[in-house]
Amino acid sequence: MHELAITQSMLDLVLEQAEKVKAEKVEKINLVIGEMSGIVDTCVEFYFEFLSKNTIANGAILSFKKTPIQVRCSHCGQLFIPKEFDWSCPSCQNSGMEIVTGNELYIESIEVE
């Protein structure tokens, strides 16, 4: 269900953008998904096909780009990509950190006709 709401707001944005440039058809949507977001691209595709019916985005190709997780050490501010089972800071070994990227879904660009 998570993906349904996300896909709906993504589609709304796409249609809004397409309308601005007076597009007749949306050809392709380039999306960026963070590895940590838990979003399943096949679910998004499934909902998109369903939701985009009767819109100019119907039949558009969805292209997904995955962004890796990047975190910032809350102790020394070091930015790093954590290893699968080792999330400690490579420079100070602190284990407190915040996720900088990897949690997002956004539209990178759309291609219209």
Q: What is the residue-wise DSSP string for the chain?
A: -HHHHHHHHHHHHHHHHHHHTT-S-EEEEEEEEETTS---HHHHHHHHHHHTTTSTTTTPEEEEEEEPPEEEETTT--EE---SS--S-TTT----EEEEESS-EEEEEEEE-
**Binding status of residue 94 toward Zn ion by CB under 5 A:** yes
- Please report how close the Cβ of residue 85 comes to Zn ion at its closest, in angstroms: 18
| Pattern 35-74, Zn ion, x by CB under 5 A | --------------------------------------x-
User: Binding Zn ion by CB under 5 A: which of 11, 89, 110, 112?
Assistant: 89
User: Which residues lie near Zn ion (CB under 5 A)?
Assistant: 73, 75-76, 78, 89, 92, 94
